[in-house]
Amino acid sequence: MTDDLIRLTATEAVARLKAGEISPLDLIDAAERRIAAVEPAVNALPTLCFDRARAHAKRLMAAKEATLLAGLPVSIKDLTDVAGVRTTYGSPLYADHVPSVSHPLVERIEAQGGIVVAKSNTPEFGAGGSTFNEVFGRTRNPWNTALTCGGSTGGGAVSVATGEVWLAHGSDHGGSLRRPASYCSVVGLRPSPGRVTRGTAKNLFSPLSVEGPMARTVPDIALFLDAMTGLCPFDPLTMEAPALSFSAGMAALAAPRRVAFTPDFGGGIRVDRETREICAAAMRHFESIGCIVEEASPDLGEVEQAFMVLRSQHFVVAQIERMKAHRDRLKPDIVWNTEKGMAQTPEQLAWAEHERAAFFRRMSVFFQTYDLLVTPGAPTPAFDVNLRHPETIDGVKLENYMAGSTINAAITVASHPALSIPCGFDRFGRPVGLQLVGRPRGEAALLQAGALYEQASGMAKLLPLDPRAGVLPS
């Protein structure tokens, strides 16, 4: 029974919970057994809280109140506080930190019947495209444990890919939900800013970082997004939940009429050749559901440089106090990004804001013609687990650790929602994904397009999987 339960999708598991066919305790038992079986190979969920989870499950069962998640086990990224559970932010500065109060989003998830069973591994303070830190070590890709799972929601991606949990919470700034999803062949959604509360973030008025869901299927993403979304008194950018839930939208799927595909924004972003070819071939699935597919993209302008200016300023706000007190104990990437921000001039910040506004306007004009923009989900497949970032993209050496994130970061700058969805494998068996970009606040249509693509491709049927040992591609 345990093996059968971990193979249920989240929507299937919730349906069985609501029908009384299984209990939250059954699922917690299943998750605990699965975590014990696969964690030695992947190190995705280093902090477990099963006693707390069972106590929560018993309260839910006694209350007999209807909730969206109905007692479904989930993982929470280790950047986000869970009351009474060790929360390190991936930093040795907080190695023994146990918060007394949960993040507002965790409170919302738990109020909707989500049961936290574990914290998922993340780079230090979420900075990095590969998931490792000095507290818990490296998280490995279940398709090939010699490879990275990506970052910074790497532990979350692995936890759903392997069936440790049914849903994973994460966050995204420059691709932290999308790149791990692409590397691990799962689904990750970067929602529009304000769709999901960021609660206690220092950058509450910035649209760059968002919280969001990760899962094995698009309907599961819709379910978890419903549990996350809505106004929050602690976040000034949040909005009301939609009148029609995202899950309800899965019952009447509407295909986008006109889809734009770009492998590399007309050569403006470096992407490995095989990745471009795999993603281009995957567009046949959109054609099979009746979409008109054309190769087109908006003009990027200087969005890569603008993103780095804006991101560096974001780091100043988030890290300046730690830099003053603990500079020598912070990850080099954090020091570099923060000091870059501290050296910027007002003129540079003004220029970046002008570039952001101009790119948003170009995207708005583009979406008057197209209903959906599709790109590769990441510029390369997963790389050596011991590296901080891929050494090259399409034969060109990277200048810094963020240079491999531009295809995701451009969409961050535009504040559009984006969905990473599996589309195939390269010649070494490494997963490749697509990035589907919708209109601002257009998650409903975006998720419907993703669900139709998923049905046509059949990729979701490959999960969950047992971790596979492997070697590095030549």
pLDDT in tens, 86-128: 999 999 999 999 999 999 999 999 999 999 999 999 999 999 9
Residue pair 110/135 in contact (Cβ under 8 Å)? The answer is no
The helix (H) or strand (E) run that includes residue 223 is: helix 218-228
Six-digit token string for 201: 């973030």
Q: Find the angle CA(3)-CA(56)-CA(119) to the nearest 5 degrees.
A: 65
Please tell me whether the peptide bond between 142 and the residue prior to it is cis, using omega within 30 degrees of 0: no
Residue 103: C-alpha distances to residues 80, 278, 301, 304 (Å): 6, 39, 37, 32
CATH architecture of 2-462: Alpha-Beta Complex (3.90)
Q: How far is CA 359 from the centre of its chain?
A: 23
Q: Which one from 102, 130, 152, 297 is the annotated catalytic residue?
A: 152
Residue (of 197, 133, 128, 186) closest to 156 by Cα position: 186
- Separation CA 267–CA 135 (nearest Å): 39
Q: Which one from 91, 102, 130, 176 is the annotated catalytic residue?
A: 176
User: Tell me, what DSSP letter sits at residue 458?
Assistant: -
Return the axis-axis angle of helices 104-111 and 218-228, rounded to nearest 10°.
110
- Separation CA 56–CA 76 (nearest Å): 15
The answer to whether the Cα torsion of 206, 126, 300, 277 is positive or negative is negative
Cβ neighbourhood burial of 412 (10 Å; 0-12, 13-18, 19+): buried
Amino acid found at 163: G
Across the strands, what pairs with 422? 433
Cβ neighbourhood burial of 65 (10 Å; 0-12, 13-18, 19+): exposed
292-295 and 258-261 beta bridge pairing: parallel
- Separation CA 18–CA 455 (nearest Å): 25
- Separation CA 149–CA 159 (nearest Å): 11
- Separation CA 193–CA 440 (nearest Å): 9
User: Tell me, what DSSP letter sits at residue 451?
Assistant: H
Residue (of 214, 205, 30, 196) closest to 107 by Cα position: 196
All residues at 6 or more sequence positions from 361 whose CB lies less than 8 Å from its CB, including other chains: none
Residue (of 277, 180, 294, 166) closest to 227 by Cα position: 166
All residues at 6 or more sequence positions from 333 whose CB lies less than 8 Å from its CB, including other chains: 127, 128, 388, 401
Q: Is 77 a catalytic residue?
A: yes
All residues at 6 or more sequence positions from 176 whose CB lies less than 8 Å from its CB, including other chains: 126, 151, 152, 153, 170
Across the strands, what pairs with 434? 376, 421
Q: Is 297 a catalytic residue?
A: no
Residue 262: C-alpha distances to residues 53, 135, 375, 407 (Å): 44, 39, 5, 11
Question: At which residue do the structure tokens 């093996």 appear?
Answer: 3
Residue 227: C-alpha distances to residues 139, 155, 197, 223, 398 (Å): 27, 21, 11, 7, 38
> Within the chain, which residues score under 70 in pLDDT?
1-2
- Separation CA 304–CA 13 (nearest Å): 41
- Separation CA 189–CA 275 (nearest Å): 20
Domain ranges of the chain: 2-462
Six-digit token string for 245: 């839930």
73 by DSSP, 3-state: which? Answer: strand
Per-residue pLDDT tens over the stretch 179-207: 999 999 999 999 999 999 999 999 999 99
pLDDT of residue 401: 80
Sheet holding 114-120, edge to edge: 47-48, 114-120, 72-77, 167-172, 210-215, 187-190, 418-425, 431-437, 372-376, 258-261, 292-295
Q: Is 312 a catalytic residue?
A: no
- Separation CA 118–CA 75 (nearest Å): 5
Question: At which residue do the structure tokens 């730690």 appear?
Answer: 322
Q: Beta-carbon neighbour count of residue 21 at 10 Å? A: 10
Q: Which one from 77, 182, 206, 247 is the annotated catalytic residue?
A: 77
- Phi first, then psi: what are they for 360, rounded to 5°? -60, -40
